[in-house]
Amino acid sequence: MNKIVNNIVFLFLIITLNMLGSRSDSQLRSLENPDKQTMRGESSKRSDKLLEIPRKKLNMRLYTEQEQKIQDYINSKAVTISIIALVGVYAILIFVIVALEELMDETEFNNVSVILSWIELGILIVFILEIAVGIYAWGLMKYYKDKWLILDTLIILLSLFFVIFELADQKTSNVVKVIQAVFRFLRIFLLIRKAQTFRRLTTISTISTPAEKIVRFLLELKEVIELESMKLDIDYCIDKIGSNQLYQMGKLDEDNAEAMGWLNQSQQGRTDVRKIVNNDQQQQQKKVLANFQKLNIPKRVLEILDKQHDDLYIDPFECDKLSAGEGLVYLMLFLFEYYNLYEVFLIKPKIVRSYFEEVTKGYIDNPYHNRVHAQDVAQTCNFLLNRCKFIEIGQLDEQDIACVLIAGAIHDYGHPGLTNAFLINSKNDLALTYNDQSVLEMFHPSQCFKIAWKNQKANIFENLPFQKYRRIRESIISMVLSTDMAHHASELAITNSRVTSPDFEPYGKDKQRLMDLVVHSSDVSNPTKNFQIYKEWTERVLTEFWSQGDKERELGLPISYLCNRYTTNMAEAQLGFIDYVVKPTFSCVQGFLPAFEPYFDNLDKNKTQWQELIGYYKQQLASIQPQ
């Protein structure tokens, strides 16, 4: 009979080791990288019809303060580790009992087994207390939502019965011994389950962003509930977080509808940083001027770029006029020379000129999303790089600088003057091509890389080593994707959490995220500039929006935020834009670029001017209302 018992024990041992060794990789991956696996995963594929389901109110038990404290204590890392250790001791105890029973004669074993049984009884009592405290803290029904806990309790109670039975000096049959050994060994499965819980606990503790913690918590909560309506609610929450729609409005109140519509458009550096820019400014300027003269750049344009290439207040409209529409080309030629980027790309200036001439041609003559906007964004990127010292704080090398400038220049290439929402709702070919995901932001870099590889005379990437090209391509695409307003709120929240984190590394693991924000903030930077230039851009962008609204009205599509020319007050819209988008964005920028602080006041100054114009635009709206 002992052989039978031993065979059963070793059979369970093999099963246990196999289960430990074959831990699901997919589960571990979902824990290790929830940002990619969860937040951008299958949750975004839920049907839009689900969004129309009324959210059911959940009848949930309200816990007392004492019960909540006990819950926190039970879930604490210290208690979890202690229980795991106790289960481990119990597992060792089982193997010791089995081994001694095989090695000792019956009399010797009976003497030793009494001591071992008392130890086992003590461990089982601790497990009983754990269950009792858990039932008290969560309630009976809530505690046993996890059906495995029912099996745990049954195993513990039966094991306790057999131990007490044995200590009572009752003679046990061979069948009882077999059952007793089996129930003892089933405790090993508790070790597996507790260990997995501990692995989840330690993994979650390394997640740095609140959004990731919330998604992880929701997924774990879903595993232990049965009510389908609650699962739908959890899916809804995960979908909103995972698709970056947490801040999108459903039904907005009248006061905030247009302001919040902007959100729905689909501290420190180191003192030992390496400077990229040549400190001898006079020599650098002479060299730049000489090279531009060789390229026959208009003298007036060259003078403006020489003095204001990193100035927030440069007038992009004047530059475009003086350069006969080639302002973007001249700006990029100037900056490539200024930062010595020709040597980085191993190309001549004529290649750069050809490339950005093709890029400029690809910009459609929209009121807002046009070549002047591209020039303005690229130049604002340079303002943040140089004047605000991101080059030093982020320890950017020439390759990083090139990526930021190129991303700023191409970020709206081929923009049709329509939003992602319109393209998706109208089933446009671009939306179908890019599966409704960041449609234009996918399109812009795709076309600009094609320009290079389809025209050798304009291929600025041709001479780059493969790995360097891959890194540059990935970095540029990341920055252009960051300009999608659908991701604004969630990505800004994550960046804010990193900027204020103790392990924030602007020159290391956080560098790409900050480069993304530099391009994105430059794209929405108009309210930080002189009011006249800002107002010009505002009139242009709303003209473009209203043209889209007219198309939506004609096609019977929902009219997008700020796209209804009969209801959008230009001044009120800009107040919302500043408060809900621009201020939070540049507060974050100022967190790692303190040199931006003097320019932050422009937001309040411009806001005051818009407030004074609210009445004027109300009268203007009243005069154009349809009969």
- Catalytic positions are 369
Biggest alpha carbon distance in the chain?
A: 108
Sign (positive or negative) of CA dihedral 580, 581, 586, 591: positive
Q: Scanning the structure block, which residue is given the tokens 């609650």?
A: 230
How many C-beta atoms lie closer than 10 Å to residue 540's C-beta? 18
CB within 8 A of 581, min separation 6: which ones?
Answer: 262, 263, 485, 488, 524
Q: What is the C-alpha to C-alpha distance for residues 527 and 532, in angstroms, rounded to an integer?
A: 10
Whose CA is closest to 375, among 429, 350, 411? 411
Using the Cα atoms of residue 364, residue 368, residue 373 and residue 377 in order, give the sign of their dihedral.
negative
Q: Is 57 helix (H, G, I), strand (E, B) or coil?
A: coil
Give the gyration radius of the chain's Cα atoms. 33
Following DSSP, what letter does each residue of 325-374 receive, concatenated? T-HHHHHHHHHHHHTTHHHHHT--HHHHHHHHHHHHHHS---SSSSHHHH
Distance CA 243, CA 48 (A): 12
3-state secondary structure 574-627: HHHHHHHHHHHHHHHHHHHCHHHHHHHHHHHHHHHHHHHCHHHHHHHHHHHCCC
First to last CA, the chain: 98
Contacts of residue 535, Cβ cutoff 8 Å, sequence gap at least 6: none
Residue the block writes with tokens 């010595």: 340
- Cα torsion 306, 310, 313, 318: sign: positive
Q: Are 43 and 231 in contact (CB under 8 A)?
A: no
CB 548 within 8 A of CB 574: no
State CA 276 to chain mean position distance. 30
CA dist., res. 102 & res. 109, Å (int): 9
Residues 6+ away with beta carbon under 8 Å from 124: 156, 159, 160, 163
Place of tokens 């408060």: 579
DSSP secondary structure letter of residue 45: G
| Rounded-to-10 torsion of CA 490, 427, 537, 303 | 90
d(CA 386, CA 379): 10
Contact 364, 453 (CB under 8 A): no
Q: At what angle do helices 349-362 and 398-410 cross, to 10 degrees?
A: 30
One-letter amino acid for residue 202 of the chain: T
